[in-house]
Amino acid sequence: MPRTEAKLILADPEKAFQLSFYPNNGFGLLRMEFIITHSIKIHPMALVQYEKIKDKSIKDEIEELTKTYNSKKDYFIDKLSHGIAMIAAAFYPKEVIVRLSDFKTNEYANLIGGAYFEPKEENPMLGSRGVARYYSKFYTEGFKLECEAIKKVRNKMGLTNVKVMLPFCRTVEEGKKHFN
């Protein structure tokens, strides 16, 4: 191994065990939104505030995906924690850096039920994303689901090699104000 750390970046948890055999110093960036898009598929707030969805076909799709879970929130927490855990286990005890979600509003709107919960923005690249989204009134409950998934991975599954990264924090003051 070189003196410079060689950490992998991966979008597909299914390939984690295969890639963990490559020489590496851990996992440099696991983007949570890939797991949400490909495994969960449903907007977190559509699971928290399911009653706000009026379109029967969207409700049917959510019901089909969540039918084996006691609650819709459990579906999100379980799917997300298992995706993260698969990578964390493959690289254990090496560090795995998990970046909390950083969807732009137009990307979140594309998830099942997302159009009911996302504001229309002129420039989603600079709008409600990253840290600013977590403390916004319209997403706080969704952020709690992300935190519960991380908590499950670390505390219940014992994968303490998972480290959390907060994305798109605009200022030091914003970070201190909301996450100190």
Q: Model confidence over 105-164: pLDDT tens digits?
A: 889 999 999 999 988 888 777 777 778 788 888 899 999 999 999 999 999 999 999 999
CATH code: domain of residue 58: 3.20.20.60
Residue 27 lies in a domain: no
What is the C-alpha separation between 14 and 64, in angstroms, rounded? 23
- Write the single-letter amino acid at 48: V
Residue 75: its pLDDT value, please?
Answer: 98
Q: What are phi and psi of 94, to 5 degrees?
A: -65, 150
* 93 preceded by a cis bond (ω within 30 of 0): yes
For residue 178, pLDDT beyond 70: no
Residue 39 lies in a domain: yes
Write the CA distances from 7 to 27, 94, 95, integer angstroms: 5, 10, 9
What is the C-alpha separation between 24 and 96, in angstroms, rounded? 11
Residue 83 lies in a domain: yes
- pLDDT above 70: percentage of residues in the chain: 97
Residue 144 lies in a domain: yes
Residue 160 lies in a domain: yes
Question: How many degrees, rounded to 5, is the angle at CA 101 between CA 98 and CA 102?
Answer: 115
**What's the total number of domains in the chain?**
1
Residue 51 lies in a domain: yes
Residue 172 lies in a domain: yes
What is the C-alpha separation between 57 and 40, in angstroms, rounded? 17
What is the C-alpha separation between 64 and 43, in angstroms, rounded? 15
Question: What is the domain extent for residue 152?
Answer: 34-179
pTM greater than 0.75 (yes/no): yes
What is the C-alpha separation between 174 and 129, in angstroms, rounded? 13
Residue 94 lies in a domain: yes
